[in-house]
Homo-oligomer: A and B are copies of this chain.
Amino acid sequence: MARIVMKFGGTSVGDLARIKNVAKKVKAEVDRGNQVAVTVSAMSGVTNQLVAYCTEANPLHDAREYDAIVATGEQVTSGLLAICLQELGIEARSWQGWQIPIISDDAHGKARIVEIKGEDLIKRMEKGQVPVVAGFQGIGPDNRITTLGRGGSDTTAVALAAALKADRCDIYTDVDGVYTTDPRIVKTAKKLDKITYEEMLEMASLGAKVLQTRSVEMAMKHRVRVQVLSSFSDAPGTLVCDEEEIVEQELVSGIAYSRDEAKITLVGVSDQPGVAAGIFGPLSDANINVDMIVQNVSQDGKTTDMTFTVGKADLDRATSVIKDKLKIPFKALNTDKNVVKVSVIGIGMRSHAGVAQKMFSTLAEKGINIQVISTSEIKVSVLIAEEYTELALRALHTAYELDAA
């Protein structure tokens, strides 16, 4: 007997036929003798429609009203799945964020879960009841509905699993697991059986869209074992878990990429203390996240070039801030949207040298120029011209011996 939280995303509950299919999957888990809680997203398309209503009503709408409106999407799915489960003979009931309660802070539209009162649900699960929890929402200190921001249903699932002391949190989605790299680009990509929290976190924040970053952070913090699997097949997925649970740890687990990058270079900045603060302070004030940063070695001892990346969507705002707000003189401002960030990720890097070197030499062999490099304990990221994306991914996948047999 295990206690399991199952989470189904918008595509998995896209219409009544799919919700009935989800009910069958839940029943199968119950029939195996497990205690099950479920959390669901809105039916696909519903959230977008509700958001469009809010924007049409007023582009600068009250986030508290937005939350009350948008949270109805998950409310509907939770009720419908409860009905479908009952039809299969499962004792089920829907739960809204305010009923459990799922207590959040008051950051309407992007709230964070503070606490889930799980005692009542645990008692009910022990008696065989299946709670069907509306994902993506909570109740704020003002007794009003909050939403956790887009993708927040994953976070609900992991937080619920932590509160219910679940053995596993199964995230059902439209892919069947986490791959060594994007299988649409690299045909030899392999599905991973297991991956550590740390690696998954890097994957999520470096462009792999399987799990939302925040949900992985929460899983890591509360040591919730998370399985990513497909709602359209019965194959096992990828388990995101603690390092100790992975017996044979590979050097490199995967290769991620993100096209959501834009490069900015400030040419001829004076090379003196306070320059970095002078550049990145105003960008930070404007809520623009800066990712990779490289400061060239000064040639003349007086000026240098500063290169960094921002999200593509922020590029225009970033150039405005630089032109209008920067008090530091510079000679020229160059921007480039045609870049991609490719990252090699592996917890094995910690104890093995040469991982980065293999990356650089592999790219060099293919004639791919590296524009910016950034490293962390378990990943190496490089910025290259976007046109080399596929070539780089395939070459690196082979170089790190990740190709399927």
Chain B residues with CB under 8 A of A50: 76
Is B86's CB under 8 angstroms from A80's CB?
no
Contact of A76 among B20, B61, B69, B93 (CB under 8 A): B69
**A163 at interface by CB-CB < 8 Å:** no
**Which residue of B is nearest A57, CB measured?**
B83
Chain B residues with CB under 8 A of A58: 83-84, 86-87
Contact of A83 among B61, B75, B80, B145 (CB under 8 A): B61
**A82 at interface by CB-CB < 8 Å:** yes
Interface residues in A1-37 by Cβ distance below 8 A to B read 16, 19-20
**Which residue of B is nearest A60, CB measured?**
B87
Spot the interface stretch: A94-102, A110-118, A343-351, A390-398: A94-102
Question: A58-B87, A99-B143 in contact; A93/B79 too (CB < 8 A)?
Answer: no
Contact of A69 among B68, B75, B93, B144 (CB under 8 A): B75
**A119 at interface by CB-CB < 8 Å:** no
A56 to B61, CA, bound (A): 34
Is A53's CB under 8 angstroms from B80's CB?
yes
Nearest Cβ distance between residue A401 and chain B, in whole angstroms?
A: 49
Is A57's CB under 8 angstroms from B19's CB?
yes
Chain B residues with CB under 8 A of A84: 57-58
**A260 at interface by CB-CB < 8 Å:** no
Q: Shortest 6 CB-CB distances between A and B: which pairs? A: A72-B72, A69-B79, A57-B83, A65-B79, A68-B79, A58-B87
Chain B residues with CB under 8 A of A56: 16
Between A62, A86, A144, the greatest number of chain B beta carbons within 10 A of the residue's beta carbon is seen for A62
**A64 at interface by CB-CB < 8 Å:** yes
Is A53's CB under 8 angstroms from B98's CB?
no
Is A68's CB under 8 angstroms from B57's CB?
no
**A54 at interface by CB-CB < 8 Å:** yes
**A153 at interface by CB-CB < 8 Å:** no
**A66 at interface by CB-CB < 8 Å:** yes
**A78 at interface by CB-CB < 8 Å:** yes
14 sample A-B contacts, Cβ–Cβ < 8 Å, listed by A number: A16-B53, A20-B57, A53-B76, A54-B79, A57-B83, A58-B86, A58-B87, A65-B80, A65-B83, A66-B79, A68-B78, A68-B96, A75-B75, A99-B143
Chain B residues with CB under 8 A of A75: 68-69, 72, 75
Between A80, A84, A145, the greatest number of chain B beta carbons within 10 A of the residue's beta carbon is seen for A80
Chain B residues with CB under 8 A of A80: 53-54, 57, 65, 69
Chain B residues with CB under 8 A of A99: 143-144
Is A82's CB under 8 angstroms from B53's CB?
no
Nearest Cβ distance between residue A230 and chain B, in whole angstroms?
A: 23
Contact of A57 among B53, B65, B87, B144 (CB under 8 A): B87
